[in-house]
Amino acid sequence: MESFGEKLRKTRESLNYSIEQAARDTNISKRYLVALENEDFSLFPGETYLKGFLKNYADYLGLEGEELVNIYKNMKIQEQPVPLDQLLENKHEKSPKLLLMISGLVVAAALVVILLVTQPFGAGEAQPAARETAKPENEYVFKDYAKSFDVTTGAKITVVDSGDKERGSLTVHSIANNVVIASDYGQFDLGLGMKKQIDLNGDSTLDVEISVNDIYASGSEKHAKLALLKLTSGQVATTAPADNQEIDINELTKLYGNDAQLITNAGKPEAFTVDVRFTGNCLFIYYLDGKPREQKFMYTNQFLSLPVNEKADFRFSNAGSVTMKVKENQIQLGGFGQVAARLITWKKDENRNTYYLLSLPEK
């Protein structure tokens, strides 16, 4: 079976991309791309970054990023320990080592007896072992519905549900003017006052909304105050009305659940502008007012402002890396690694003789 590293390299070569070009296009260091193709996992600073880079590189090459991440996970699970017979020593080597081990145990037992004899009874309550009670510094658990955390670089926040089942984790990669945060499905940066809804476990459901309430320095160290809010998903309809169908606005939630957004209303359709900002790499496809398809590969910190008369259709390969606004309303898209499709269009409500500008999910 072809390994994921071979698949990445062969696909890149078939596209006539050099490793240098791929590094420029993806904003991933060349040495990490080479490490992925060679399946050299020792170079990566952590599991989160390895899986994020692997998924972004695979998506860039037109491969199924999630599939390759799963192949990597299976490889890790299937790694076998050293065979037992290699750990066993020859008989002639056992005697000296066995004597040393017994001597060490005798000394340890003697020290325990001395401590028990010299420790006065009732001198105080026994202290629990440090390894049982110590909590790693800069690690947090988020179990509540909403909670704030004062964090520094390297902080890890593990998100669990009410049954203590882990849903995913967030790691603070760096704090400067922005806060760079990584999950298992990519990384994003948030400025002061910004917020982001993310999918932590790749199940196509938004789990957590995270916002940056403050960034400040304490001594030589930067701190960030992060606010986390757990999200509940609405039901998505299996069918949708035709684009030109007249519809009562009150029926929208029955058809789309929480995925339908009302942006504004007017007596007749008006032109509007869609502002799109990218916090990570993403393939972006769009159709404006029935014009021919436009396709761009967008990079971190790129921005587009698109004028629209009546209708716009959007496709994103990595919804979690996109912030989209229409008339100052942020449009719900999805999490990292999710493919999202949204239609922003005017629809007429005959009952009220008015038009509503809506953001609707598309299949």
**23-80: per-residue pLDDT in tens?**
888 878 888 999 999 988 888 877 888 888 888 888 889 888 888 888 888 877 765 5
Q: Say which amino acid occupies 43.
A: L
Question: How high is the pLDDT of residue 70?
Answer: 84
Predicted confidence at residue 66, as pLDDT, reads 84
Domains of the chain listed by start with CATH number = 4-78 (1.10.260.40), 139-230 (2.60.98.10), 249-361 (no CATH)
- pLDDT of 166 above 90: no
| CB 158, CB 144: distance < 8 Å | no
pLDDT(285) > 80: yes
Is the distance from CB of 180 to CB of 173 less than 8 angstroms? yes
Residue % of the chain over a pLDDT of 70: 73
Q: Flag whether pLDDT at 255 surpasses 70.
A: no
What are the start-end ranges of the H helices in the chain?
Answer: 4-14, 19-26, 30-38, 47-60, 65-78, 84-87, 91-118, 130-133, 252-256
pLDDT for position 288 = 93
Model confidence band, residue 127 (pLDDT cutoffs 50, 70, 90) = very low
What span, in angstroms and rounded, lies between the C-alpha atoms of 340 and 175? Answer: 29
Strands 322-326 and 272-278, bridge-based pairing: antiparallel
Four-CA torsion 33, 36, 40, 42, nearest 10 degrees: 70
Please tell me what DSSP assigns to residue 112.
H
Q: Is 194 helix (H, G, I), strand (E, B) or coil?
A: coil
pLDDT category at 97 given cuts 50, 70, 90 is low
Q: Find tokens 């509503």 and name the residue.
A: 356
Q: State which amino acid sits at residue 1.
A: M
Comparing CA positions, the residue from 215, 66, 60 lying closest to residue 152 is 215
Q: pLDDT tens-digit profile of 310-325?
A: 999 999 888 888 888 9
